[in-house]
Amino acid sequence: MAEPLNIALAGLGTVGGGVVRLIETNAELITRRARRPIRIAAVSARDRSKDRGVDLSRYDWEDDAAALAARADVDVVVEMVGGSDGPALALARNAIAGGKSLVTANKAMIAHHGLELAAAAEAAHVALKFEAAVAGGIPVIKGLSEGAAANAIDRVYGILNGTCNYILSTMEDTGADFADVLGEAQRLGYAEADPTFDIEGTDAAHKLSILAAIAFGSRLRFDAVETMGISRLKAADIDQARALGYVIRLLGMAEVDRSAGNGAGGAARLFQRVRPHLVPINHPLAHVDGATNAVVAEGNFMGRLLFQGAGAGDGPTASAVVADIIDIARGETGAAFSMPTGELEAMEPAESGHRTGSAYIRFTVPDRPGVLADITAAMRDAGVSIESLIQKGDPDQDGEVILALVTHPGPERAVTEALRILEGSQSLTAQPLVMQIIGA
Amino acid sequence: MAEPLNIALAGLGTVGGGVVRLIETNAELITRRARRPIRIAAVSARDRSKDRGVDLSRYDWEDDAAALAARADVDVVVEMVGGSDGPALALARNAIAGGKSLVTANKAMIAHHGLELAAAAEAAHVALKFEAAVAGGIPVIKGLSEGAAANAIDRVYGILNGTCNYILSTMEDTGADFADVLGEAQRLGYAEADPTFDIEGTDAAHKLSILAAIAFGSRLRFDAVETMGISRLKAADIDQARALGYVIRLLGMAEVDRSAGNGAGGAARLFQRVRPHLVPINHPLAHVDGATNAVVAEGNFMGRLLFQGAGAGDGPTASAVVADIIDIARGETGAAFSMPTGELEAMEPAESGHRTGSAYIRFTVPDRPGVLADITAAMRDAGVSIESLIQKGDPDQDGEVILALVTHPGPERAVTEALRILEGSQSLTAQPLVMQIIGA
């Protein structure tokens, strides 16, 4: 039997506790698959006395996580502290500088500092791995960087935030409005006390920027993700979408834009957007319900590939963390972003105005004559062709009515222009909401 | 730049041609991902003059594929000849014995001889890889052996044959009977001139036995797969299933059976079955249409994971073949079956009679009084509880009527016993058809 691989765990919250349980429960199996035992050499967390449902007394304890990076008996530091900067980043930098491989579930840190850490890992000849940072238990980073390695991939998209997907599919099932479902999700533990990162799309944007870099071989650009969350969605939007044959899903969507109109005269640019979309009911993503995640990638030889599974939770996330550790134990650790950082292509953000497609636009309007004429005139003047228009039901207690409109396929900039024309109009009582409609 | 990895291609049919096209089209990208060029050193096929749509003049030609295994300038032999034995197996053995890694898309050869070849590869310290042998372009072998490596997996199942799935979903869409759809599929090239391996489930059984070995860490037992194909299905079965809220899919299903009733007193046994199943319409597999493949694996930490994509075709299959070659170029080649063959657990085949579940049973009966009484009496005597029973429409030209029955959950052996009681009965004009119903 080969020497054990010695690991140190920093952070013993939900994920950290799951990693300890997994390594203990599946120890014999992991040793057979990794061809050597994986040994927890030391652990560190804020509060030693907290009951985590696992017996930590057999492992060395460090009060200061930073000490893990300095231990001579540690091969791999597993960072589960969280946060894009602060102690997590300091630990990551120190571990790599100290010649230790780093495994992390920290999407925010990788989205902000992944290229720096990957370059440092290359220089130090250690591994940097973060399968658990994207889509929880789904091995999508491995799937794209290794399984799909032979393909030029120009498009990757999916459902990357389980909290939002839980809220949207519950709104679908119950007819309740966003705020009510969010409150219930918080009571049930499906949403954080401060849900901003989830519901405003930031968490999905972190994951999307990581996926895009790996799929396209491009330099990671989290700063360039256009992000809109789900907090402005109403039960009426879900109803309208259903009547039209769609469901609403928060999608992260990234593409290599090689079109002439992308702002770069045809050079490849990077399009990245997180936004609620209308998804046709015969599309595989329309059947992804609850806290499940799913990622679709389209390659020039493999065609369309879909990965689906549990996007969060201690078990699935621990599964991804330990898969990374097993890869390191086997000595099978490629470059963090599938190729060395120096070979990743720098792509400027794409302008999205030339993108064409159908859109759903929801207006909140006063219940009086002339409103429809104002809106349709703005559409005409901006060159937006209307496919259907539904004015929904009776006015609410504020005398407002929902007006939902679906456009024929056309450039996104035309819709933007129509909304600009309507800015400040007395015919709108709230900012309109635009959602793209994806094909089947 | 590192030295090129030199490969030799044996067999230049659909898949072989696709591999050449892929390596030429994506050469620059592959070099960046593999960290070295992949060079085709030599090729071999039966007919040199055949037009394959690719220019082969730049590659050395060998009339005899066996010569590829002997060339000093070859690191990897890619076997795309096909067939479980004969020239393909001889080439595979010789290549490995000659110290060359072997990549193959040959599911029949791996199902029959995979353990022998894997042991030979271990002894020769070369790689044996066969991602393309299961589910075409879907990286499911990598997903299970590496992505899910931290999990004990007790169940893996899925849609493993694109021809059958195409036929079943076309029967669904058109209402046509099996024979008509098969004929059309043959005309369109979706089914072989001799479709036996596909429609009788053998091809799916090959793939299932490979998946089971990798998922469970068990010794491959193709001989122990219970196999039934789709040739006995009627349009009436599809209709009945739909009315009950199900679709029919040919599933390969493998489980580690640890129950007391498995015939081994509680020791783990291997359950493997290919059979048409009723799948609830809210299950992800119910939405897998056409020639698409999909595999579900359930792990003790990751939960349920789904992989879906193109199960056949030159592009997807070439994508999987070249992914294996890139792994070899990177030096990231684990054991063929995820762990050394000596550590794979020998599991005897499970007896399936104690398995419980609901079943769909279709009887073809004469249109006369008393038939229903005979059938329900047999069910009662065997202890099968009937949930619903539908006698469909008018008798056909032979005076026969279709009777479809769904059982309450119960042991499979009770259904077998009921059908035994009915054997030879004048109340049946054809052998009944049994399909298991899977849960959501």
A332 vs B contacts (CB less than 8 Å): 146, 332-334
Q: Out of A100, A142, A207, A392, which one is annotated catalytic?
A: A207
Note if A207 is an active site residue.
yes
- In the predicted structure, residue A239 carries a pLDDT above the cut 70: yes
Note the pLDDT of residue B264: 67
Give the residue on A whose Cα is nearest the Cα of B293: A305
Q: Token pair of B220, please? A: 């491959």
- A251 pLDDT exceeds 90? yes
Residues B29, A332: C-beta atoms closer than 8 Å: no
pLDDT at A222 over 80: yes
Q: Which residues of A touch B158 (CB under 8 A)?
A: none
Q: What would the two tokens of residue B95 be?
A: 């290549």
Are B207 and B136 within 8 A, CB to CB? no
CB B65 within 8 A of CB B102: no
A260 — pLDDT class (breaks 50, 70, 90): confident
Radius of gyration of chain A (CA): 24
Residues in Cβ contact with B101 at an 8 Å cutoff, skipping those fewer than 6 apart:
B75, B76, B77, B95, B121, B126, B127, B128, B129, B328, B333
In angstroms, how far is CA A108 from the centroid of its own chain?
10
ipTM for the whole complex: 0.95
Count Cβ atoms within 10 A of the Cβ of residue A397 and give its class: 0-12 exposed, 13-18 middle, 19 or more buried.
Answer: exposed
Please write the tens of the pLDDT for every residue from A122-151: 999 999 999 999 999 999 999 999 999 999
Q: Which residue of A has its CA nearest to B333?
A: A332
Which pLDDT band holds residue A192 (cuts at 50, 70, 90)? Answer: confident
Taking one residue from A and the other from B, the number of pairs with CB-CB distance under 8 angstroms is 196
Q: Is A51 exposed, middle or buried (0-12, 13-18, 19+ CB in 10 A)?
A: exposed
**What residues of chain B, 44 to 83, have a C-beta less than 8 Å from chain A?**
none
User: From the CA of B126, how many Å to the nearest CA of chain A?
Assistant: 15
Distance between first and last Cα of chain A: 51
Distance of CA A321 to the CA centre of its chain: 17
- Residue A263 confidence (pLDDT) above 70: no
| Shortest distance, CA B222 to any CA of chain A (angstroms) | 22
User: Is residue A261 over pLDDT 80?
Assistant: no
For B345-440, list the strands marked E by DSSP. 356-357, 359-366, 386-392, 400-407, 410-411, 433-437
Mean pLDDT estimate for chain A: 94
How far is A293 from A164, CA to CA, in rounded Å? 10
DSSP state of B218: B
Integer-rounded Cα Rg, in Å, for chain B is: 24
Higher-pLDDT residue of A397, A324:
A324
Residue B345: per-residue pLDDT: 95
Those residues with Cβ within 8 angstroms of residue A349's Cβ, 6 or more apart along the chain or in another chain: A221, A224, A269, A270, A271, A272
**Which residue is it, tokens 């491989």?**
A101
In chain B, which stretches have pLDDT less than 70?
Answer: 1, 263-266
Cα atoms in the Cβ-side hemisphere of radius 13 Å centred on B306: 27
Catalogue all structural domains in chain A, each as residue range(s) with its CATH number: 5-133 (3.40.50.720), 140-311 (3.30.360.10), 356-437 (3.30.70.260)
pLDDT digits (tens, 9 = 90+) for A340-389: 999 999 999 998 888 999 999 999 999 888 999 999 999 999 999 999 99
Rounded to 10 deg, the angle between the B27-34 and B314-330 helix axes is 40
- Return the SS3 of B101: strand
Whether the pLDDT of residue A1 is over 80: the answer is: no
Q: How far apart are CA B30 and CA B106, in angstroms?
A: 23
Report the run of H or E that residue B118 belongs to, with start and end. Answer: helix B107-124
Percent of chain A whose predicted confidence (pLDDT) is above 90:
86
Q: What is d(CA A335, CA B33) in angstroms, rounded to the nearest whole number?
A: 9
pLDDT for the residue B2: 84
**Are A319 and B150 a contacting pair at CB < 8 A?**
yes
Cβ atoms of A276 and A228 within 8 Å: the answer is: yes
pTM: 0.96
Q: Is the CB of A300 less than 8 angstroms away from the CB of B25?
A: yes
Q: Which pLDDT does position B376 carry in this prediction?
A: 95
Output A191 or A39, whichever has higher pLDDT.
A39
Give the model confidence (pLDDT) of A404-416 as tens digits: 999 999 999 999 9
A307 to B306: CB separation less than 8 angstroms, yes or no: yes
If pLDDT is split at 50, 70 and 90, which confidence band does A265 have? low
Q: What is the DSSP letter of A386?
A: E
B319–A151 C-beta distance less than 8 A: yes
